[in-house]
Structure formats: C-alpha cells, structure tokens
Amino acid sequence: MSNPTLLILPGDGIGPEVMTEVRRIIDWFGDKRGLKFDVAEDLVGGAAYDAHGTPLTDKTMAHAQSVDAVLLGAVGGPKYDDLDFSVKPERGLLRLRKEMDLYANLRPAQCFDALADFSSLKRDIVAGLDIMIVRELTSGIYFGEPRGIQADNEGGRVGVNTQRYTTNEIRRVARSAFELARRRSNRLCSMEKANVMESGILWREEVQWVHDNEYPDVELTHMYADAGAMQLVRAPKQFDVIVTDNLFGDLLSDAAAMLTGSLGMLPSASLGAPAENGRPKALYEPVHGSAPDIAGQGKANPCACILSFAMALRYSFDQGTEADRLEAAVESVLRDGVRTADLMQAGDRDPASTTQVGDAVLKALDASL
C-alpha cells in the first residue's frame, strides 16, 4: 500500500520555524514507528506572494485537494500590510479552507498541569481544563455576500460584510460537534446571538433540530456568545464541547488560548466531509499567527504546531495511540521545564529555543518506546 500523503505549507514568520520541528517529528514516526508519510512542501501566504504574486497558486490549491492531509504553519506579516486585499497572505489560507470545504474547525483548549500557573487566570480555574471549540469555518460573515467597500451617498464610504448561514451549513457543523461530544463528556453548548441576529435565531433552531432528531442523548445548552465569552473566563471548566459560528469561534478560541497558558500551545484541525477514501479532507494548523514580533529569533513555541500534527495522526490517520504518545511527550517536556519564552515568568532560568523544545520532544518520544 502506498504511504499516506502530506502537504506541508510552512508559510510566513514563525511558520517555517515551528514547522521545521514538526518535520523532525514526522521523520521520527517514520523511522521509529514505521509510520511513513510521503511529504511534499510548498508555499502559502506572503511567501507564495513573493514567489508568484499570489498567496496561493492554483497548482498548490489542486495539490492540497489531492493529499490526505495539509499541515500549515502561519501566514501574514507587516511586510504585506499594504497589499491589495485580494492578494493578502490571509486570503491564501481562506481559499484553502473554502475550496476544500473544511467546515468544522476543531480547536481544543487543554491546560496541561505544568502550565496552570502561566494562564492569566488563577490555577484552580484552569487546572485540568479540557474543552473543545468547534468553529464553523467556511461560511458566515467571513464569506457572506454582499461584501466590499464602496462610496456611500454622503461623500464617504461604506464597508459591508454579510452574516449568512443556511440550514445545511449549520446542521453539518452541529453534527460534527455532537459526534465529538458523544466521544467526550456528552455535553454541547451552542453559542450565537439569537437575541439580536436572525442568523443567530436560525443557528439556535437548527442546532436544536439536529439534537432533537439525531442526538437526543447529548445534553445541549444554548448561550448568547457574549455571555459565553464571559463564562469562558469566569468558569471555563463548565464547558465540554462548544459549537459556534466562524467569527465568534475565532474570538472565543483566542480567548480560550490564554486559559492554557499561551497562544503558542493551541493546535487545530479543520475537517470537511469524508473523501472517496473515507478520510475527511483535512488541514491542520496552530491557532496562532506568524508572530512577527518574535519571528527569526528562535523564540517561537513549536508546541501548537506539533500538537496539530498529533491531531492529524488522530483524525486523518486513525493513529490515536501515536497521537497520545506525541501529546504525552509534549506534556513531559513542559513538565521538565523545557519551555520557550512565552511560558516563562520573571526569575525563571533562560528560556529554551524553538529547536531545543523540538530536541526535547524527540528525546521524550525516544523514551516512550
């Protein structure tokens, strides 16, 4: 049988730095666990714009459609701030999500015990936290039409974006969330603003419909997203799985990142419907961006990207045990105090570099055999 295929898109800023560590880990699984992947690498974001004048070429897009999983680092950076909107680095990532139809974005926020003191919240509020935010990723205000910037009739301009959701778009992401809830603590909280938005009313009704007709055994609650944001920082452990729309999910998952200690810790999986081979179309990426303030300095925390590869092992390749092995290796490295600067406090010894964290994870993987 041929090896599973991976397309690696390191992107910009710290993307290539954290991806270098992931590549070493992929090689480790090939050498030590017989899990061989056929790996190809290509450009996305600003790096692709610099080479080709577009943040994602049609060729790379087609390649992404054909592989078993895509791993992405991060895109964007100040160098590209003045580019036309249509060729900004972020457009490359959004095109991948949209054309691969990756509608369910899984953003787990887990607080490793060793990091409970790094959260901006008190230890007892976050210790042991393990929640999963399911963010709708291919619709809503990110993609709704009409959109644009036009002249208004007062001599000024008007910026327009449209929040739009259909029954099918809500039901399919709700199903993903209910499925996850069943495999976890069987609780799902859906967040929208049904008090002010018609799309929120539809969201609430359709999630309830999926519950009543298909998942009556899962405990479903609804919350307004603003109240949800408050509850997420007041008492995050009340949640198990949260399902929400594209924009609310973007905001809530960055907030959840700080419960875990650092944005450099949060992985994600973006999944579509199963392809012909039964695997979902999938893209794995850290939740963080290209971190221009620390790029090129060897300071980036590679854990989010490494943990994203663990999610690939679990969700694309049915290798849950190997995913557990990798997650445990990351946790043991953090417990041993090998940490990048984002996980340091005043008075701590020197922070580890990106490469040193990678080295330590490889050592912990060896020790797991």
Main-chain phi, psi angles of 189, to 5 degrees: -115, 125
Task: Report the partner that residue 324 touches, choosing among ligand IPM, ligand NAD, Mn ion, none (CB closer than 5 to 8 A by kind).
Answer: none
Among candidate residues 280, 340, 332, 330, the one with its CA nearest the CA of residue 307: 330
DSSP 127-146: TT-EEEEEEE-SSGGGTEEE
142 is a catalytic site residue: yes
280 assigned to a ligand binding site: no
Task: Report the partner that residue 94 touches, choosing among ligand IPM, Mn ion, ligand NAD, none (CB closer than 5 to 8 A by kind).
Answer: ligand IPM
31 assigned to a ligand binding site: no
Name the DSSP letter for residue 2. P
Looking at residues 246 to 305 of the shown chain, list those that interact with Mn ion (rule: CB under 5 A). Answer: 250
Which residue's entry shows tokens 């946790």? Answer: 331
Residues 149, 166 contacting (CB under 8 angstroms): no
103 is a catalytic site residue: no
Q: State in angstroms the smallest separation of the CB of 142 from ligand IPM.
A: 7
Write the binding mask 249 to 268 for ligand IPM: x where contact by CB under 6 A, - elsewhere: -x------------------
Task: Report the partner that residue 291 touches, choosing among Mn ion, ligand NAD, ligand IPM, none (CB closer than 5 to 8 A by kind).
Answer: ligand NAD
Encode burial over 266-281: b for 16+ CB neighbours within 10 A, e otherwise: bbbbbbbeeeeeebbb
250 is a catalytic site residue: yes
Which residue from 70, 93, 180, 220 is in contact with ligand IPM, where contact means CB under 6 A? 93
- Rounded to an integer, what distance in angstroms lies between the CA atom of residue 321 and that of residue 43? 31
186 assigned to a ligand binding site: no
Q: State in angstroms the smallest separation of the CB of 291 from ligand NAD.
A: 4
Closest to Mn ion by CB, 192 vs 250, is: 250
Does the bond joining 274 to the residue before it have cis omega, within 30 degrees of 0?
no
Q: Is 257 exposed, middle or buried (0-12, 13-18, 19+ CB in 10 A)?
A: buried
Looking at residues 312 to 331 of the shown chain, list those that interact with Mn ion (rule: CB under 5 A). Answer: none
Sole window of 87-95, 307-315, 320-328, 357-365 interacting with ligand IPM (rule: CB under 6 A):
87-95
**Catalytic residue (choose from 42, 193, 245, 342):** 193
CB closest to ligand IPM, residue no: 90
Please enumerate in sequence order all residues whose Cβ is within 8 A of that of 107, keeping only pairs 6 or more positions apart, or say none.
Answer: 132, 133, 134, 135, 249, 253, 256, 266, 267, 268, 287
- Rounded to an integer, what distance in angstroms lies between the CA atom of residue 52 and that of residue 58? 11
Which tokens sit at 365?
């993987």
- Rounded to an integer, what distance in angstroms lies between the CA atom of residue 131 and that of residue 185? 10
Q: State in angstroms the smallest separation of the CB of 299 from ligand IPM.
A: 20
Sole window of 89-97, 126-134, 144-152, 198-206 interacting with ligand IPM (rule: CB under 6 A):
89-97
Task: Report the partner that residue 304 touches, choosing among ligand IPM, Mn ion, ligand NAD, none (CB closer than 5 to 8 A by kind).
Answer: ligand NAD
85 assigned to a ligand binding site: yes
Q: State in angstroms the smallest separation of the CB of 165 from ligand NAD.
A: 22
Q: Is 15 helix (H, G, I), strand (E, B) or coil?
A: helix
Task: Report the partner that residue 264 touches, choosing among ligand NAD, ligand IPM, Mn ion, none (CB closer than 5 to 8 A by kind).
Answer: ligand NAD
> Which residues form the catalytic set?
142, 193, 226, 250, 254
Q: State the residues that interact with ligand IPM by CB under 6 A.
A: 76, 90, 93-94, 250, 287, 289
Residue numbering of the annotated binding site for NAD(+): 77-90, 289-301
